[in-house]
Amino acid sequence: MTTEHLPADSGSGRKPRIGDEVELEIGAVAHGGHCVARWDTRVVFVRHALPGERARVRLTDVSHAGYFRADAIAILRPDARRVTPRCGHFRPGGCGGCDFQHADPVRQLELKAAVVAEQLSRIAGIERQVQVEALPGRVDGDAGYGWRTRVRWALDADGRIGPRAARSHQVVGISVAAPCEIAAPGLTELATVLEVPERVRRLRGGGHRKLPEVTLTHAADGAPIAVWAGAGAEVPLITETVAGRDFSVAADGFWQVHPEAAAVLYAAVGEAFDGVELTGGTAWDLYGGVGLFAAELADRVGPTGAVLTVEGDATATESAAANLADLPQVRAVNGRVEQVLDELADRVDAVVLDPPRSGAGRAVCVALAARQPSVIVYVACDPAALARDTAALAEAGYRLDTLRAFDCFPQTHHIECVARFVPDPSSR
Ligand SMILES: C[S@@+](CC[C@H](N)C(=O)[O-])C[C@H]1O[C@@H](n2cnc3c(N)ncnc32)[C@H](O)[C@@H]1O
């Protein structure tokens, strides 16, 4: 690694290299957990800094034509709301799981709001003031730590178990002395006493490049559970409860990772349907998981209506059918949304969609708009994907109405949005 300090004008006459250090003024926050700085004409995405700070940064990636990546290694002019990160793994070159532990909790909400607004503006051409709401009881003191009830950690050849370092396959070794501070109580302890199943051990020895992974879950209804990917063992079901209804979900299946998130999103989705008469109507819950939002839609359409929940994972679809078996108006379908949509009715009254990080995509947005629902409620875990799909829906005749954003992932750059789309008469 080079310790030579390049002048800020990069006029040293040689190409910058990983490890080079330079002092930079730190600009706005950008999507992905970093801030934007400029070094000559070059954009530098800097982790571990805050907007308005001056920092010495170390280059971590110079492989792209248009930009570099860097870590702030010394803060020369700190922001007033910079705080000391609690986690020892939150540092340059360290864990990639958290991005904002160095900002106080309210500043984190502002950073995330700025990112959502910027993505909507740049990608969808929509100017919107965004406020990110903290989840109940989770903004002060300890509340931003110990919340993550599910983690998926990797096992490396040296027996280390933990999350990966930022933009790297290197495993960050988690131990009781150096725990993951956002993981729910008991998960770090469980990781340190895990037996690696024989089948997973063989995978590791077989020259596979992909590291074995384990999901650790702290369900509301019991002790922490570990599920190794590829172990071939039966995966236990756990129970989560929202609005008085129990949902069975595989211990390694999808469920919101913050203990308050599912209930908050369920309420926000319900609120987005307020004032819309759906009794006896039809509704789709796309990317439905184990049926969380289908339960809300079933209430809205009532026993004379019909709800279809579509989910790509067979186990989750089975759980959805079982979880909602007492609601005969709900049908659970296993399949990929983009394929199943072709076979569905050509009219629907209401849609909820909660796609993975990549978003629903243009084809799905266009196909949905063609069914002329009176409301589309989009639950989004990635603001860039939400902005892309907002643009696609706008072209197809739907405008963004209300937008709420929630801090379901404190200390990280991740944000969950609930966006309501309605027909835009002016585009028809
Ligand atoms: C963000 S989760 C939402 C789950 C559910 N709405 C909830 O809140 O618990 C996204 C879900 O979409 C499923 N999925 C991913 N890609 C899919 C596709 N192309 N078609 C159908 N389901 C898909 C995943 O298995 C996952 O259960």
> Can you give the CATH number for the domain in which 33 is found?
2.40.50.140
Residue 49, number of CB atoms within 10 A of its CB: 28
Determine, yes or no, domain membership for 97. no
- One domain, residues 273 and 385: yes
- One domain, residues 183 and 211: yes
Is it the case that residue 38 has pLDDT exceeding 50? yes
Q: Whose CA is nearest to atom 23 of ligand 1?
A: 312
- The residue type at 230: G
pLDDT in tens, 120-169: 999 999 999 999 999 986 444 567 999 999 999 999 989 899 999 999 99
**Domains: count for the chain:** 3
- One domain, residues 217 and 360: no
- One domain, residues 71 and 201: no
Beta strands at 67-77 and 42-47: parallel, antiparallel or unpaired: parallel
Tell me the mean pLDDT in the region 394-406.
98
Determine, yes or no, domain membership for 98. no
Catalytic residue numbers, as ranges: 381
Determine, yes or no, domain membership for 247. no
Q: Whose CA is nearest to atom 26 of ligand 1?
A: 289
Q: Is the CB of 125 under 6 A from ligand 1?
A: no
> Which atom of ligand 1 is found nearest the CA of 288?
6
- One domain, residues 158 and 33: no
Q: Is the CB of 254 under 6 A from ligand 1?
A: yes
Instruction: Name the pLDDT band for 287 (thresholds 50, 70, 90).
Output: very high
Q: Is the CB of 289 under 6 A from ligand 1?
A: yes
Signed CA dihedral, 276, 278, 281, 282: sign only: positive
Residues in the chain: 428
Determine, yes or no, domain membership for 99. no
Q: What is the pLDDT of residue 220?
A: 78
- One domain, residues 262 and 362: yes
Determine, yes or no, domain membership for 67. yes
- One domain, residues 132 and 169: no
> Which atom of ligand 1 is found nearest the CA of 249?
9
Determine, yes or no, domain membership for 198. yes
- Domain span at residue 50 reads 1-80
Q: Return mean pLDDT, the chain.
A: 93
Backbone angles phi, psi at 184, to 5 degrees: -65, 155
Determine, yes or no, domain membership for 87. no
- One domain, residues 341 and 422: yes
pLDDT in tens, 303-336: 999 999 999 999 999 999 999 999 999 999 999 9
Beta strands at 150-155 and 213-217: parallel, antiparallel or unpaired: antiparallel
Q: Is the CB of 57 under 6 A from ligand 1?
A: no
Ligand 1 centroid to Cα of residue 255, in Å, is 10
Q: What is the pLDDT of residue 54?
A: 98
pLDDT in tens, 40-56: 889 999 999 999 999 99
Tell me the mean pLDDT in the region 218-234.
88
> Can you give the CATH number for the domain in which 387 is found?
3.40.50.150
Which candidate, 322, 348, 350, places its Cα nearest to that of 421? 350
> Which atom of ligand 1 is found nearest the CA of 285?
6
Determine, yes or no, domain membership for 100. no
- One domain, residues 198 and 275: no
Quote the tokens at residue 55. Answer: 């920092």
Q: What is the pLDDT of residue 230?
A: 87
